[in-house]
Amino acid sequence: MAAANDKKRSTKPVKPENSALADELRHRLKGKPTQAGFSRSWIREAGSFIWDVVRIVIVFVLCICFVFGGFGAGMLLGYASTTKPLSIGDLTSAEESQTSFVYDSDGNVMAKLTGSENIDRVYVSYSDVRHTYIDEAIIAVEDERFYSHSGIDLKRIGSAVLSAIAHGGKATYGGSTITQQTVKLISGQDEHSTSRKVQEWFSAMSLEQDLSKDEILELYINLAPMGNNYVGIQAAAQNYFGKDARDLTLPECALIAGLPKSPSYYNPLRETGRRNALRRMRIILGMMRDQNKITEEEYREALNTEIVFKSRNTKSATINSYFTEYVISEVISDLAKARGISKNLASSLVYNRGYHIYSTMEKPVQNVLDDAFKKQSLFQTKPSKLAAYPEKPNGSCVVINVKTGAIAAMAGGYGEKTMNLTLNRAVSTYRNPGSSIKPLIDYGPAIELGLIAPGTIVNDRKVYLDPNNPKKAWPVNYERNYAGQMTIRQALSKSRNTIAAEVWTKVGGQTALWYLKQVGIDRTSEGAYPSQSVGGFSKGMTTLEMAAAYATFASGGTYTAPYAYTKVLDSEGKLVIEAKPIKYRVYSKESCFLLTDILKDVVTSGWIRKYGGQIKNSKGKQIDAAGKTGTTSDNNDKWFCGFTTYYSAAVWYGYDNRLKQTTIPKTDFYNAGRIWEYCMQNIHKDLAASSFKKPANVVKVSYCTKSGMYPNAECKDAKTVKSDYFVKGSFLYPKEDKPCKVHVTPTPGPTPVPTKNPDQPEG
């Protein structure tokens, strides 16, 4: 039998349709397909091809109409009227790159932005590289008739149309000139539409009117993307070859000229990208020879020259702080928006045009954070217990100046910062806030709406508020128990989840999200759902968002969008851009005081009192502090957010979880509060004693802890009388004419008449 089977076996390849797999499929399948696997008919395919070609021809015809007038001129003029002028004055006003400076709030230099310290984008004058082959290489591959056209190249557009016709409606190369590409690099606009393309043509021809060809080429070589966040030929030369652009050889120029087409595909820092870049370099060298930009001898010598790449070195010459990087990014973003330019162009201006950036960083405050975030004892209570962990704990902190709303200090990670542009956890890490969200989405809105007061009586009991599981008790308290009747003050200070969810329900989910948005945390796109009341969001919060939101309570109800700089001046002292912080009132002063007074209890009576409690200055005088803890249900995130009359600060503590979800060990449960206490105690040590100011119409009134109403004599006998703050005249204010109805004075009955005993003798 075995021999018979062996005769049937064969190692010869079998056609797919005769394979065993095909037989099995035929055996299993029944019936026949109702339509072809590729459902588009040849008629639709032909129509699609024709439409692709027609669209390209329309653009070409519009171009012809624009040049020669006639049909379509009105449409073109309409598009042209919406074309924004290009902002290039700063780049063309200086021959050489100038050092920019970043200052702290006292006017001291905190960072210099110059060539040696910023190798990601360094401006270079065209006159410095004219003697190299960089211009010939770029022109050969990107725009052969660069010196003869007026911004757009009709012949190149026509060739692109023919290429599209020959390749099924998809051109093998674009019709954009170097001038058009420069327009895109300046404006940041790369939208594929007829109107956008026409506006690009007008901008290109306008640019040709304003600048010389050499000036346009200078803009291009400084704005072109070179991969790996490097911009411009100088950054490419320094990072890929370890030399200045003026020292580039012919093959190096050809390689750099080919990078902007697809910086990631031709990335020289990757093995496959380097091979791709070298192949494209050889193609460009051939184009240079064919266009008589180099001789045959130069061409062959270049092909035989070995390209020596710089060994990769990730260490930067100067390491900028988290705050410095953040303020630079904010200036770049605001400048690009204000002028309608690309972020690449805005970056080149900021780094190379001698700007003076005045930040809001308060050096003494920043020094405290820098010190705290290098203390292992604050981040690892027992380091030996973390030895087997895949990563070490991390954190972030932001401090906001309450009076101005400006960012005073920022820490984006634990330990020494060793690289530029690393993860800034203060602004780029979104983590669920746990119970630290309760004042912002539950209690703050409810107090403002007059639904609750600190003395309002609530019942901590099982609730069933999960709409997807209405028979299961949800939420549950962290301690997994229920305390019965308590006040709102106790519910918030003890962080009872059940009460928070019920308060959220009273406020209404959409209203709660509206209030959250008003303090700078917009999650309205998520829609409202109950878990938000206890910190469960699809998208978490940044430390910056939380610090700014809590500053709203500290300021008496006015939210200020946090800002990191006040103004930017150019090298001649002229104003480039100025910060105009958005400010508006969200809460009344009365609401803020009531909530703040409750949050004082968290600091004075909660676990955080073990690590300092209320802030005291160096003279032992108290500076009132209020705050709230936050813990996610999985113990992956710990927060403490709080404030004084001087500063608001938020601290996040946890793990980056890059390898796996890491639960914070019990020994480190209190580290967020410890970091907050350490920072705030040291920040305030030289400040005067201060307390939260009580509005005149907020008064302390007695109430019954069973009913929340004005106490009567029986309430006093039952020892259920307490006092707390209320807004005078409000609906919840305990009124003497509406006393407690739980404790009622018994109504006096008739005097009992003695009953005569029949066995008792008379007299």
pLDDT tens-digit map of 69-88: 544 444 444 444 444 555 56
Measure the CA–CA gap between 566 and 404, rounded to whole angstroms: 11
Q: Kind and range of the H or E element at 503?
A: helix 497-507
Percent of all residues in the chain with a pLDDT value above 70, rounded to a whole number: 79
CATH architecture of the domain formed by 435-539: 3-Layer(aba) Sandwich (3.40)
Polymer length in residues for the chain? 763
631 pLDDT above the threshold of 90: yes
Q: What is the pTM of this model?
A: 0.80
How far is residue 624's CA from residue 628's CA, in Å, rounded to a whole number? 14
Residue 517 predicted with pLDDT over 90: yes
Per-residue burial over 328-364, b if 16 or more Cβ lie within 10 Å, else e, is bbbbbebbbeebebbbbbbbbbbbbbbbbbbbbbbee
Which has the minimum average pLDDT: 21-35, 444-458, 474-488, 670-684?
A: 21-35
pLDDT at 611: 80
Mean pLDDT of all residues in the chain? 86
The mean-pLDDT minimum among 340-344, 525-529, 530-534, 731-735 falls in: 340-344
Q: What is the pLDDT of residue 752?
A: 62
Tell me the average pLDDT across 693-709: 95
- Give φ, ψ of 585 to 5 degrees: -85, 135
Nearest residue to 493 (alpha-carbon basis) of 606, 332, 649: 606
Domain coordinates of the chain in residue numbers?
50-82+120-303, 435-539
> What's the confidence (pLDDT) of residue 63?
59
| Average pLDDT over every residue of 112-134 | 80
Using DSSP's 3-state secondary structure scheme, residue 244 falls into coil
- Please name the residues in contact with 328: beta carbons below 8 A apart, sequence gap of 6 or more: 102, 113, 320, 350, 357
Quick one: pLDDT at residue 281? 97
Superfamily of 50-82+120-303 according to CATH:
Biosynthetic peptidoglycan transglycosylase-like (1.10.3810.10)
Dump the DSSP string for 711-748.
--HHHHHTT-EEEEEEETTSTTS--TTSB-SSS-PPPP
**Token output for 183:** 């327009």
Confidence check: pLDDT of 33 > 50: no
Quote the percentage of the chain above a pLDDT of 90: 66
The C-alpha atoms of residue 575 and residue 579 are separated, in whole angstroms, by 11
Q: Where are the alpha helices (DSSP H) in 362-450?
A: 363-372, 376-379, 425-428, 438, 444-448
Task: Taking residues 658-680, report their average pLDDT.
Answer: 94
Measured between alpha carbons, how far is residue 2 from residues 11, 12, 19, 20 in Å? 17, 20, 22, 20
Q: Flag whether pLDDT at 282 surpasses 80.
A: yes
* pLDDT exceeds cutoff 90 at 116: no
> Where is average pLDDT lowest: 204-208, 224-228, 395-399, 505-509?
204-208
pLDDT class of 420 with cuts at 50, 70, 90: confident
Strand locations in 284-414 (E): 356-359, 394-401, 407-411
Alpha carbons within 13 angstroms on the beta-carbon side of residue 717 total: 8
DSSP summary character for residue 472: S
Q: Residues with Cβ < 8 Å from 365, sequence gap 6 or more?
A: 399, 408, 409, 647, 683
Structure confidence at residue 344 (pLDDT): 83
> Taking 70 as the threshold, does the pLDDT of residue 89 lie above it?
no
| Closest-CA residue to 545 (of 522, 511, 514, 512) | 522
**Location of structure tokens 């009622």:** 744
Cβ contact 651:675 at 8 Å: yes
- Residue 417: closest CA among 475, 459, 384, 369: 369
pLDDT of residue 110: 95
- Over residues 368-388, the mean pLDDT reads 96
Report the pLDDT value the prediction gives residue 605, as an integer from 0 to 100. 85
721, 725, 762, 759: which is closest to 740 by C-alpha?
721
DSSP letter for 563, please. Answer: B
Asked which of 106-115, 363-372, 700-709 is least confident by mean pLDDT, the reply is 106-115
* CB count in 10 Å sphere of residue 308: 11
Least Cα distance to 112 among 367, 409, 319, 347 occurs for: 319
CB 216 within 8 Å of CB 92: no
Which two three-digit tokens encode residue 399? 């401090």
Residue 337: strand pairing partners = none
Average pLDDT on 306-322 reads 79
Does residue 528 contact residue 509 with C-beta atoms inside 8 Å?
A: yes
**Most confident listed range (106-115, 570-579, 745-754):** 570-579
Per-residue confidence (pLDDT) for residue 552, from 0 to 100: 98
Distance of CA 86 to the CA centre of its chain: 28
What's the Cα-to-Cα distance from 457 to each of 138, 487, 499, 503, 722, rounded to whole Å? 76, 5, 11, 12, 12
Distance CA 161, CA 157 (A): 6
User: Once rounded to an integer, what is the mean pLDDT over residues 217-227?
Assistant: 92
Query: Measured between alpha carbons, how far is 559 from 692 in angstroms, rounded to an integer?
Result: 17
One fold for 50-82+120-303 and 435-539: no
* pLDDT value at residue 612: 77
Q: Record the tokens describing residue 173, joined without a space.
A: 């190369």
169 or 135: which leads in pLDDT: 135
Higher pLDDT, 684 or 89: 684
Return the pLDDT at 8.
41
Question: Which helix (H) or strand (E) element contains residue 207?
Answer: helix 194-210
Q: How far apart are CA 221 and CA 256, in angstroms?
A: 10
Q: Name residue, tokens 């009531």.
A: 594
Query: Average pLDDT for residues 523-551, to the nearest whole number?
Result: 97
Distance CA 299, CA 293 (A): 10
Segments of 180-257 assigned E as strands: none
pLDDT of residue 21: 41
The pLDDT score that the predictor gives to residue 747 is 59
The whole-number pLDDT of residue 615 equals: 95
More confident residue, 299 or 752: 299
Q: Using an 8 Å Cβ cutoff, are 103 and 357 in contact? A: yes
- How far is Cα 180 from Cα 549, in angstroms, rounded to an integer? 44
State how beta strands 356-359 and 100-103 pair: parallel
Single out the residue of 30, 236, 261 nearest to residue 138, CA to CA.
Answer: 261
Confidence band (pLDDT; 50, 70, 90) for 153?
confident
Largest CA distance in the chain: 154
How do residues 583-629 score in pLDDT, each as one tens digit? 999 999 999 999 999 999 999 987 888 887 889 999 999 999 999 99
Mean pLDDT over 227-255 rounds to 93
Four-point Cα dihedral 407, 411, 417, 421, nearest 10:
-50
- The C-alpha atoms of residue 237 and residue 222 are separated, in whole angstroms, by 12
| Angle value at C-alpha 70, between 66 and 71, nearest 5 degrees | 90
Q: What is the mean pLDDT of residues 399-412?
A: 98
